[in-house]
A and B are shown apart, each in its own frame.
Chain A
């Protein structure tokens, strides 16, 4: 009796499983090949309209990268990337606080943007050809020039990346770092063993426990990790970077005007620094006779409405968020992160953006 029931069950269950498996395979194949004859759908309404109707901006940020996007004890977000979200909200809604933040892992971030769960992704994202061309995102502006390097124990006496031959290196997946490190070691004929741990916190803990000789990420991220380590003086962030990592917000390309709004929200912060405007001086600047400042603050001209924004959009950004310098001084300087390439062009940096005119 028992034997019979068992034998029949054995021959029956796998068959339906196989059917399910075939279905899944069919679905995968259909998703893989481009199915013909499906109509192109045009999206009704712009992102700006959607944001205004909703009353807040949906911004994708990190789960906690010091200086870029972290949440404090009162539930408020801070950081260089958070300031991009706030600037866009100030431009689009006139209120920088009207943002709903979605914390995303490196691995989850692009899916969230593609699925339309967020209006903009501001999460230490390296701009690359493949992300632009194949994933189909638009990267309107750079908000931080960074580069991949290594965090090592001071006691090891490592000063340059080339001295890391034969070491074990902790990494997080879903970053360009994985490929940067592989490229660098291959180029120099060196060897390393990667330990790829999903969450930043556990990957850092593995490094601190001595599982890895080095931890690799963007220089600014490493400076943040070092600043929060139990004994920062025991660790060094190597000065030499092995890649260029321009970081910037990403949006979907379907709404060209929204791409421009994000771009000019970042530019406005840089332009403000160029014009010597800060959140403290912007009100006084409203009475300035200088034509470029009058255009910037919206006292003169019709620039804002060209993008469907308020005349005072840039004023709102500077008043509520501040200039790029203020954002740096508020978020990254306290962590000991050098401004370096991220100074204005006239101070020897790379920040050079078009005029608001």
Chain B
């Protein structure tokens, strides 16, 4: 079964005065998938999200969501998207419940349904007991959960999450991801997010790596790693000389580190031959896939965490 593209972006350019924030970007997002924009701060991720959400106006190109043009059919687009911005957008002077009721007004959700939907979304993010609390009294993680709940109230087809876990502690971050994955599975909502955390991008169906306003690579995390990184093997052996001879003969790049050999695996069958030859003396073996950070490093020559 072929999935339909819920988001289609073609030749998108966004300039601020002379500075080009997004430089000719093209990509598609399949319906029901989790799509991530990965890149350092200032790469153009938020600009792209803000333009897709109808907040910014594009400089040129076409951006379509659910078959609707983001520039010319703003209201139609707005009613099918839910957005959680990087910075908080809750009404601090109101309670959780009042925030959600206001959202129902904004999206013209009938009064008869509003209550049921509010219960549903609050339950989803485990905040049913906090309905009456003032938003200003909630912790950062709870506020983010209220925002996610609110963004889901009108049953959007696409949920935009701009850095959904930035500023949250690791435990809350893990929880947040449980909610996100649950949503995608249960409601078949397309989730479009930006992040600069590698481990978060790993969970996504597709990752677009962005740097300096351009998409430098786009694929599944697995393929990206396969294409841009080499697997690394760690071998600990009693017969170090024997192993070195075989590795040299087969032409492997390797380094001896404290107690083990770190080997770049560019030919797996050959390495397996060496391992089976040396099986009597090998005491420990580990093969690691490259990480998305390695991918980023390989493509841009920069460490994303810098």
Bound pair (A, B): no
**Chain A residues with a Cβ under 8 A of chain B:** none
**Chain B residues with a Cβ under 8 A of chain A:** none
